[in-house]
């Protein structure tokens, strides 16, 4: 349906699409909400993503629409794509507004902005990915698919600056006391794996636990450290002195 200005569009598909492939569990459908002030472009991107079996675009809404928080809560997305313009609204504020409406959703920023400032602001507020608009639909699809699995993505030319800024933020926060003291031993093991750049499945294999248990520990780590993404958690860990060789496992074994 749409409001009078056409800025809110919620799409309703069949029950079988919402459930992926039913009881086989072959496909976990990722619910995607598109937040974009350009309705025509949002509809075009939605049409392209509609052909991807494991992505379901549940709707789109303008950033300026007062109904945006309600749309986010009602559509229950796993991933929110947020289109920002170089001269547009405060990116960090928009990300924070979306996270307040749906904390469980991962926010992927789509942008033509080349400088690092807005990327840093978005990461500080919990955005998990920053995708330049010149990237292909296929690249965006892979980023969106990875978000529910805990993956983050920033362009290589921006990642260093984003990590540096987050690390400095974490160092200032860590000056109060040891931020990792709140973690259990197993949570520290999982965090070491994250610092080593390992994905959930590899951490699970090395710790002899399930990937779902790794996800549970990861959610607990983020909550205890007061951060919104694995990227921020890694920054906190590095600022606190947690170092792991890239060739070692979470417990330090080679």
pLDDT, one tens digit per residue, over 29-59 is 999 999 998 888 888 888 888 889 999 999 9
Domain assignment of residue 2, yes or no:
no
**Greatest mean pLDDT among 11-15, 70-74, 115-119, 176-180:** 70-74
Please give the helix or strand (H or E) that residue 254 lies within, else none. none
Here the CATH number for the domain that contains residue 78 is: 3.40.50.2300
How high is the pLDDT of residue 87? 57
pLDDT category, 142, cuts 50, 70, 90? very high
One domain, residues 20 and 134: yes
How high is the pLDDT of residue 98? 94
Question: Domain end: 101, 120, 154, which one?
Answer: 154
Using the predicted structure, report yes or no on whether residue 14 has a pLDDT greater than 50.
Answer: no
One domain, residues 127 and 230: no
Average pLDDT, the chain: 82
How high is the pLDDT of residue 107? 96
How high is the pLDDT of residue 222? 92
Helix (H, G, I), strand (E, B) or coil at 102: coil
One domain, residues 37 and 145: yes
Using the predicted structure, report yes or no on whether residue 11 has a pLDDT greater than 50.
Answer: no
Is the distance from CB of 151 to CB of 254 less than 8 angstroms?
Answer: no
Question: Domain end: 154, 178, 212, which one?
Answer: 154
How high is the pLDDT of residue 168? 82
One domain, residues 129 and 171: no
Mean pLDDT value across residues 56-84: 93
Is the distance from CB of 105 to CB of 129 less than 8 angstroms?
Answer: no
Q: Which domain holds residue 143?
A: 8-154
Question: Domain end: 101, 128, 154, which one?
Answer: 154
This prediction has a pTM of 0.64
The DSSP string of 22-45 is GGG----PEEEEEE-S-HHHHHHH
Using the predicted structure, report yes or no on whether residue 139 has a pLDDT greater than 70.
Answer: yes
Q: Domains in the chain: how many in total?
A: 2
One domain, residues 147 and 171: no
pLDDT digits (tens, 9 = 90+) for 161-185: 999 888 887 776 665 557 788 888 8
Please state, as a whole number, how many other Cβ atoms lie within 10 Å of the Cβ of residue 92.
18
One domain, residues 182 and 90: no
One domain, residues 109 and 230: no
């Amino acid at each position: 349906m749409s409001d009078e200005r056409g800025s809110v569009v919620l799409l309703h598909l069949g029950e079988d699409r919402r459930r992926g492939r039913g009881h086989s569990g072959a496909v976990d459908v990722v619910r995607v909400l598109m937040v974009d002030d350009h309705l025509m472009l949002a509809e075009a991107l939605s049409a392209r993503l509609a052909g991807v079996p494991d992505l379901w675009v549940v709707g789109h809404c303008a950033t300026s629409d007062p109904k945006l928080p309600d749309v986010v809560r009602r559509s229950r997305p796993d991933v929110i794509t947020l289109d920002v313009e170089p001269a547009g609204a405060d990116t960090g504020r928009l990300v924070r507004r979306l996270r307040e409406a749906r904390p469980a959703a991962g926010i992927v920023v789509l942008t033509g902005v080349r400088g690092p400032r807005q990327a840093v602001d978005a990461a500080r507020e919990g955005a998990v990915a920053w995708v330049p608009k010149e990237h292909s639909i296929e690249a965006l699809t892979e980023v969106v698919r990875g978000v529910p699995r805990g993956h983050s993505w920033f362009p290589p030319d921006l990642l260093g600056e984003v990590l540096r800024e987050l690390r400095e933020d974490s160092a200032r926060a860590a000056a109060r006391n040891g931020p990792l003291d709140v973690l259990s031993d197993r949570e520290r093991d999982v965090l070491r794996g994250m610092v080593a750049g390992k994905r959930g499945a590899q951490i699970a294999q090395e710790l002899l636990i399930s990937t779902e248990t790794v996800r549970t520990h990861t959610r607990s780590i983020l909550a205890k450290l007061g951060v919104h993404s694995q990227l921020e958690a890694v920054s906190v860990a590095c600022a606190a002195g947690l170092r792991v060789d890239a060739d070692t496992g979470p417990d330090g074994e080679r």
